[in-house]
C-alpha cells in the first residue's frame, strides 16, 4: 500500500481588503464639513449654558400666568433683605488692613482685649471702604479706619458693643 499523497496546493485568490464602514469615516466627513461641526458645537455649548445657568425665580412670565402673580417683586425682596441685614460702621484698629479691603469682600471681624480674642462677626460683607486719608502714618495707625459692613441686626449689636471696649481686626474669608 501506498501512503496517500497530500493534495496539491490551492492558491488563495487575490481580493481587495474589506473596509468596514463606520465611525471613522463619519468623523472624517464631519470634520470636512466645518460649518456643521461649528454649529453643532455652539448648539451643545448653548444648551450647557442654559442648563447650568442661574435659577431665576423672577423670570418674566406672560400676564395671566398663575406663577406671574405669585412671583415676589424686587421691592418686597429688597425690603425683606433690609429687614434682616443692616449696615454697621466698624472702626478697625489697623488702617492699613482696611486699605486691602474692597466693596463686596467677605470678612470675619475679630475682637481682642489684649489677652483673649473672639470672632464677633463671621462672613460679613463689606459695603463701603473709606478713601485713604492724607494724614500722617502715625495718626492713621493710632486711629484705625472705618469700614461699613452688612450684617444681621443681632451681629450689628455685638459689633457695636465689642467696638466700644475692644480693638477690632478683620480677616478676609
Residues 31-69 have pLDDT tens digits of 677 777 678 888 888 888 887 776 655 555 555 555 555
Q: Identify whether residues 44 and 104 lie together within a single domain.
A: no
Residues 92 and 150 grouped into a single domain: yes
Q: Do 120 and 163 reside in the same domain of the chain?
A: yes
Q: Which domain holds residue 38?
A: 23-51
Phi and psi at residue 162, in whole multiples of 5°? -70, -35
Q: How do residues 120-145 score in pLDDT, each as one tens digit?
A: 999 999 999 988 766 555 555 567 88
Whether residue 75 has pLDDT greater than 60: no
- Top-confidence residue, 99 or 77: 99
Report d(CA 122, CA 159) in Å as an integer. 11
Instruction: Decide if 34 is inside a domain.
Output: yes
Residues 6+ apart with CB under 8 A from 11: none
- Model pLDDT, residue 69: 52
Asked if residue 132 belongs to a domain, the reply is: yes
40 and 93: one domain? no
98 and 162 in a single domain? The answer is yes
One domain, residues 41 and 105: no
**Is residue 129 a contact partner of residue 102, using CB atoms and an 8 Å limit?**
yes
74 located within any domain: no
161 and 101 in one domain?
Answer: yes
Assessment of whether the complete model's pTM goes beyond 0.85: no
147: pLDDT strictly greater than 90: yes
What pLDDT, on a 0 to 100 scale, did the predictor assign at position 25? Answer: 66
Report yes or no on 110 lying in a domain.
yes
pLDDT at residue 20 in the model = 67
What pLDDT, on the 0 to 100 scale, is given for residue 41?
82
Cell numbers linked to 32: 470636512
Identify the pLDDT of residue 152. Answer: 92
Q: Tell me, yes or no, whether 97 and 158 share the same domain.
A: yes
Report yes or no on 126 lying in a domain: yes
- In this predicted model, what pLDDT tens digit does every residue of 81-131 receive, in sequence order? 556 889 999 999 988 888 899 999 999 999 988 788 899 999 999 999 988
Residue 18 lies in a domain: no
Are 151 and 102 part of one and the same domain? yes
Domain match, 45 and 109 both: no
Asked if residue 92 and residue 35 are part of one domain, the reply reads: no
**Best-predicted range by mean pLDDT among 2-6, 19-23, 51-55, 93-97?**
93-97
Q: Is residue 72 part of a domain?
A: no
Q: Does 42 share its domain with 112?
A: no
Q: CB of 158 within 8 A of CB of 168?
A: no
pLDDT at 9: 86
Our count of domains for the chain comes to 2
**CA-to-CA distance for 121 and 109, rounded, in angstroms?**
5
Q: Secondary structure of 81-123 in the HEC alphabet?
A: HHHHEEEEEEEECCHHHHHCCCCCCEEEEEEECCCCEEEEEEE
Domain presence at residue 148 = yes
Q: What is the pLDDT of residue 135?
A: 58
Contacts of residue 133, defined as CB under 8 A and 6 or more positions apart, other chains included, come to 140
The phi and psi torsions of 95 (rounded to 5 degrees) equal: -65, -30
Amino acid at each position: 500500500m501506498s501512503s496517500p499523497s497530500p493534495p496539491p496546493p490551492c492558491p488563495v485568490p487575490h481580493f481587495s481588503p474589506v473596509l468596514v464602514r463606520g465611525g471613522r469615516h463619519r468623523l472624517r466627513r464631519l470634520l470636512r464639513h466645518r460649518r456643521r461641526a461649528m454649529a453643532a458645537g455652539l448648539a451643545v455649548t448653548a444648551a450647557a449654558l442654559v442648563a447650568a445657568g442661574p435659577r431665576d425665580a423672577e423670570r418674566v412670565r406672560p400676564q395671566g400666568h398663575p406663577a406671574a402673580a405669585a412671583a415676589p417683586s424686587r421691592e418686597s425682596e429688597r425690603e425683606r433683605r433690609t429687614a434682616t441685614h443692616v449696615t454697621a460702621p466698624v472702626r478697625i484698629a489697623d488702617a492699613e488692613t482696611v486699605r486691602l479691603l474692597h466693596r463686596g469682600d467677605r470678612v470675619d471681624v475679630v475682637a481682642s482685649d489684649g489677652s483673649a480674642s473672639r470672632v464677633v462677626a463671621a462672613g460679613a460683607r463689606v459695603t463701603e471702604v473709606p478713601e485713604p486719608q492724607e494724614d500722617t502714618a502715625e495718626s492713621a495707625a493710632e486711629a484705625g479706619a472705618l469700614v461699613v459692613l452688612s450684617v444681621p441686626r443681632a451681629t450689628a449689636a455685638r459689633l457695636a458693643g465689642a467696638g466700644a471696649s475692644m480693638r477690632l481686626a478683620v480677616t478676609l474669608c
